[in-house]
Amino acid sequence: MKRHLLSAADLSRADALLVLDTAAQLAQVADRPVKKLPTLRGRTVVNLFFEDSTRTRISFEAAAKRLSADVINFSAKGSSVSKGESLKDTALTLEAMGADAVVVRHGSSGAPHRLASSGWIGGSVVNAGDGTHEHPTQALLDAFTLRENLAGGEGDLTGKKVTIVGDVLHSRVARSNVLLLSTLGADVTLVAPPTLLPIGVETWPCNVSYDLDPVIPESDAVMMLRVQLERMTDSYFPTAREYSRRYGLDNHRMSLLSEQSIVMHPGPMNRGMEITADVADSKRSVIVEQVANGVSVRMAVLYLLLGGNAPAETPIDGPLEGI
Amino acid sequence: MNSPRVRTVFEAADIDRVLTRISHEIIEGAKGAQDLVLLGIQSRGVPLANRIGRRISEFENADVPVGALDITMYRDDLRLRPARALETTALPEVGVDGRIVVLVDDVLFSGRTVRAALDALNELGRPRVVRLAVLIDRGHRELPIRADYVGKNLPTSLQESVRVRLAELDGDDAVTLSSGGQSPRGGPNPGGEVA
């Protein structure tokens, strides 16, 4: 594995499977009376959040704490950033405090890359969402959830049909998922109105459709994206009502899904907009499971990056064996 | 550098006999199979624990729960090498609380693996008693740890390395001793070696 996790494209198939297999073992820790492993004792993980986040920050914090790392939470609100401190000076401060890993969320695409490549900090950088670019650990937890539900919890996702619906243009979740799921062999289809698809989407390793209904019956999983109202500076669709009628997941559309199919959402949901409350709370919905898996997957990432004197080596191929 | 010489010190039939003896000794020590739980330390302790479990079940006509313990996250040498892949930890449904837990491993060497296993066990519950069974004790302990049940004491030098081959993982059963190879400590961990 590379020293930083900036993009889902940094992960080869073998790396991705190593993370998922490690996460599967670490998931057991959640069922134990003592939910803690001593592995990262004495290491410091900084959560550097320039943007609001509930589940990602809490999930990284829980993951680091379960591995016994020391966690420093830094959010831009209430810090010197609001006084105009630059990313560089913030990074140098963290470096002086001895951060072994920096988990960064930033509103600007490429900020984690800048942190990792500038030489400002010596530790590993983990991208926890940058602008409209990427969110690799979300893609990993989605892949983990898909594998648990559709592939018996092992191997890759060869031949599984995953449909990602909604605001692809502003979605770092969609971009990371397309990259990772295609690495793992899944067949990804993006569904969105033309105004909410990014330029160059035809070069992505996936199919694209403007119409949801024909795609639904063939899907093994439907991932609904949040309509990101805070990023909507222009009008991308006429009305919210029209959007939810054409691209929302309601009971009728859910009834067209095949027996084993699952419904996913990265959260936070706009209930009634891209997904109805009935669907979100239905048996097919694995949305709560996604959150639980997020902790296991982030534990795996932190362990594989920080657990040794170097990131885990990429396994050659085949099943994992103890080294 | 002379090429390593490999010598077989234990064959399939020897391993068989020794596991049968250890099974009887465990029954004797625990006064039966009641409350017994066998935990194999990954990776070669697991098939050994399964074999001993089958024998005890047969001798005592009772089911003995067998589990697997991965101690990677508890190792004291994690920082000396790149992060390692994990293996399965599977506790039997009965758990370990109040039980007589027998840890099973292939080779007892420095004792560091067993120390890590005791730490791991500590977080999984509170056994009444913990015992240790090993196929080979090759000496050179670095910690105050000893085995309760030993298949064979094998005097070795630090330059030698002991490798246990088991049919479940390696295709056949044998214990080999090789000399003149790379230093068993610090270098990559040869399969079956307890570093």
What pLDDT is attached to residue B186?
Answer: 42
By mean pLDDT, which of A265-269, B1-5, B161-165 is the weakest?
A: B1-5
B93 assigned to some structural domain: yes
pLDDT band at B183 (very low <50, low <70, confident <90, very high): very low
B82 assigned to some structural domain: yes
Q: What are phi and psi of A202, to 5 degrees?
A: -70, -15
What pLDDT is attached to residue A313?
Answer: 87
Q: Residues 6 or more apart from A276 whose CB is under 8 A from it?
A: A248, A249, A250, A251
Phi-psi region of A42 (alpha: psi -120 to 50; beta: other; left: phi over 0): left
What pLDDT is attached to residue A63?
Answer: 97
B48 assigned to some structural domain: yes
B64 assigned to some structural domain: yes
Nearest Cα residue to A16 out of A259, A196, A207, A183: A183
Q: Where does chain A show beta strands of DSSP type E?
A: 44-49, 70-75, 101-106, 124-130, 161-165, 187-191, 207-209, 221-224, 262-264
Average per-residue pLDDT for chain B: 90
Over 80: is that where the pLDDT of B193 sits? Answer: no
Q: pLDDT (tens digit, 9 = 90+) per residue, A66-122? A: 999 999 998 877 777 777 788 899 889 888 888 999 999 999 999 999 999 988 999
Please state, in angstroms and as integers, the Cα–Cα distance from residue A184 to each residue in A8, A225, B36, B127, B135, following that order: 11, 21, 43, 42, 41
B181 assigned to some structural domain: no
Q: Using the structure block, give the residue that is written with the tokens 């050994």.
A: B48
Residues 28-57 of chain A with CB under 8 A from chain B are 28, 32-34, 36-39
Please list the ranges in chain A whose pLDDT falls under 50: 318-323
Domains of chain A, earliest start first: 8-135+290-306 (3.40.50.1370), 136-287 (3.40.50.1370)
CATH of the domain at B49: 3.40.50.2020
B8 assigned to some structural domain: no
B174 assigned to some structural domain: no
Over 60: is that where the pLDDT of B182 sits? Answer: no
CB atoms within 10 A of CB A77: 10
Q: Which residues of B touch A26 (CB under 8 A)?
A: 86
Q: Looking at residues B162-181, what average pLDDT do you find?
A: 90
Over 80: is that where the pLDDT of B191 sits? Answer: no
B171 assigned to some structural domain: no
What pLDDT is attached to residue A323?
Answer: 35
Over 80: is that where the pLDDT of B192 sits? Answer: no
What pLDDT is attached to residue B195?
Answer: 41
The Cα A78–Cα A65 span in angstroms is 23
Q: Looking at residues B8-21, what average pLDDT do you find?
A: 95
What pLDDT is attached to residue A219?
Answer: 96
Q: Which residues of A touch B123 (CB under 8 A)?
A: 32-34, 36-37
Q: Using the structure block, give the residue that is written with the tokens 């419904």.
A: A263
Minimal-distance CA residue of chain A relative to B43? A322
The Cα A169–Cα A91 span in angstroms is 29
**What is the DSSP code (8-state) at residue A275?**
B
The Cα A104–Cα A6 span in angstroms is 10
What pLDDT is attached to residue A234?
Answer: 67
pLDDT band at B3 (very low <50, low <70, confident <90, very high): low
Catalytic site positions of A? 55-56, 83, 105, 135
**What is the DSSP code (8-state) at residue A52?**
-
Q: Using the structure block, give the residue that is written with the tokens 């191997």.
A: A155
Cα of A319 to nearest chain B Cα, Å: 11
Q: Sign (positive/negative) of CA torsion B134, B140, B143, B148?
A: positive
The answer to whether the Cβ–Cβ distance between B123 and A311 falls below 8 Å is no
Q: How many domains does chain B have?
A: 1
Q: What are phi and psi of B71, to 5 degrees?
A: -105, 10
Q: Which domain holds residue B150?
A: 13-158
